[in-house]
Amino acid sequence: MAMPLLHRRDLLRLSAAGLLSGVSVPWFEALARASVGRPRGKSCILLWMDGGPSQQHTFDPKPGGQFRAAPTSVPGIRIVEQLPQLGQCMRDMVLLRSMRTEINDHYDAKYLLHTGYRRAPGFEHPAVGSIASHQLAAANSDMPAFVTIDAGYDLRLDGGRSYRNVPGYLGPQHAPLAVNDPARGLENLRAAGNDLAARLELLAAGERGFSEEYALPNVSARQAAFDRAVRLMRSPRARAFDVEAEPARMREAYGNHRFGQSCLLARRLVEAGVSFVEVFHRGWDDHDGAARNMAQRAPWLDRAMATLIRDLKDRGMLDDTLIVWMGEFGRTPGNGDGHFCNAWSTMWAGGGIRTGQVIGRTSETGRNPGSTIEDRPISAVDYMATLCLALGMNIRQDFQAPGQRPVPMVDHAAQPIRELLS
């Protein structure tokens, strides 16, 4: 369905006549509602396992490995037996088993896998969430385009400094809105004091006077942003930030774990029109071996992700919502005690891509199975290009960085994984 989109200037004009006047104008409300929907386009839930999850303890088990492989709902595809619910969702999932990304340092790898670029001195590339905000989000939505959710950590906090999503040259309006705790939702969303209406009324007259005296774009932009914030506070959509509003049964289904509740919050946000949600869970840098830690993580991970896939499907949202599970690299074949960027796995689900398949293959035999790629190596730029394409972006475009320097959205050398895209 095509959404009637308002021209930015019109909306600013409307806004001047809108909330701050203290009067509700029905046609304004109607137009504003029409304009805030996300135009048909995809959204993405990025599940980021910070520190580097082990592929052999998740989606690329090997004969003789620490975790046994089990069949899934797709004949011929096997993942570890510790993830049975995900195994049942295999028809909606794709395993990318041949990631080759060249960087084994935590922070540099996080940067590379979030931006598609190596870190360069004196320069910040935009994170993929900010790119999605720039490319996919409707202007003037009453919901933010890019939200990050801190899902905490379980065992201990290692894996280096967290990547901080930056919008770089796309501009601060594409910075993420951060939820620090899924149980608390968006900070400052509720009014302090009980006289908000009276204070807003007191404010409105002065604002009107100022915007007449200073009829300038930045002044109207500020008043529009203020209106958006008030609209968000009053919007039924803002309830999306509140997982408590979800039926107990559903909260239970996602699991009583901060990661599960973060996945639930992500689903609620996407449903309310957010384009890109990054849920990050920290502490996956298993230098003492992955088996024991993964055995502890598997139950809540399996439950949350499988529920997320099923829930989106039940709501008819799975085709429009791409789920991406990954870290900055994998772990050394065998016990997984080291960083490993030569042959590791990520998992995608939904998003209208060709699911129920595996991309790439790592070695099954030899002294150290899984240490080499035998088919279709995927570089970081290939990966980024595929992700942007899967979300419906035109990847052959340049952004303008400071110094009149054109920077491609994705390196032009990228070879997207065509067999993934329908």
* DSSP per residue, 222-240: HHHHHHHHHHHHH-GGGGG
Interface of this chain with another protein, residues 3 to 22, rule: CB under 8 A: 7-8
- The residue among 31 and 232 lying less far from another protein, judged by its C-beta, is 232
| 155 is an interface residue for another protein by CB under 8 A | no
Q: Using CB under 8 A, which of 244, 288, 398, 419 touches another protein?
A: 398
* Pairing assessment for the beta strands 93-99 and 357-359 based on DSSP bridges: parallel
| 160 is an interface residue for another protein by CB under 8 A | yes
- Using only C-alpha atoms, the chain has a radius of gyration, in whole angstroms, of 23
Least distance (Å) between residue 417 CB and another protein: 25
- The residue among 65 and 176 lying less far from another protein, judged by its C-beta, is 176
- The residue among 280 and 340 lying less far from another protein, judged by its C-beta, is 280
- The residue among 218 and 365 lying less far from another protein, judged by its C-beta, is 218
Interface of this chain with another protein, residues 223 to 242, rule: CB under 8 A: 223, 225-226, 228-230, 232-233
> Which two three-digit tokens encode residue 153?
């950590």
Side-chain half-sphere exposure of 132, counting CA atoms within 13 A: 35
What three-state secondary structure class fits 358?
strand
| 171 is an interface residue for another protein by CB under 8 A | yes
Q: Which stretch binds another protein (CB under 8 A): 214-222, 328-336, 346-354, 371-379?
A: 214-222
Interface of this chain with another protein, residues 305 to 334, rule: CB under 8 A: none
| 173 is an interface residue for another protein by CB under 8 A | yes
Q: Using CB under 8 A, which of 402, 413, 415, 421 touches another protein?
A: 402
Interface of this chain with another protein, residues 179 to 208, rule: CB under 8 A: 180-181, 184, 186-195, 198-199, 201-203, 205-207
- Residues 113-140 as b/e (b if ≥16 CB within 10 A, e otherwise) read bbbbbebeeeebbbbbbbbbbbbbbbeb
Q: How far apart are CA 352 and CA 234, in angstroms?
A: 33
Number of residues that bind another protein (CB under 8 A): 74
- The residue among 3 and 202 lying less far from another protein, judged by its C-beta, is 202
Least distance (Å) between residue 312 CB and another protein: 25
Least distance (Å) between residue 362 CB and another protein: 25
Least distance (Å) between residue 363 CB and another protein: 26
| 157 is an interface residue for another protein by CB under 8 A | yes
> Which two three-digit tokens encode residue 223?
């008043």
Q: How far apart are CA 256 and CA 35, in angstroms?
A: 37
Phi, psi of 257 (to 5 degrees): -140, 150
What is the pattern of x (binds another protein, CB under 8 A) and - over residues 263-282? -------------------x
Task: Tell me which residue has tokens 């939904």.
Answer: 350
* DSSP per residue, 37-77: SPPS--EEEEEEETT---STTTT---TT-SS-EEE-SSTT-
Phi-psi region of 225 (alpha: psi -120 to 50; beta: other; left: phi over 0): alpha
For 356, residues 6+ apart whose C-beta sits below 8 A from its C-beta are 74, 77, 90, 91, 92, 93, 94
Least distance (Å) between residue 198 CB and another protein: 6
- The residue among 65 and 129 lying less far from another protein, judged by its C-beta, is 129
| 399 is an interface residue for another protein by CB under 8 A | yes
- Residues 213-222 as b/e (b if ≥16 CB within 10 A, e otherwise) read eeeeeebbee
Interface of this chain with another protein, residues 106 to 125, rule: CB under 8 A: 107, 121-124
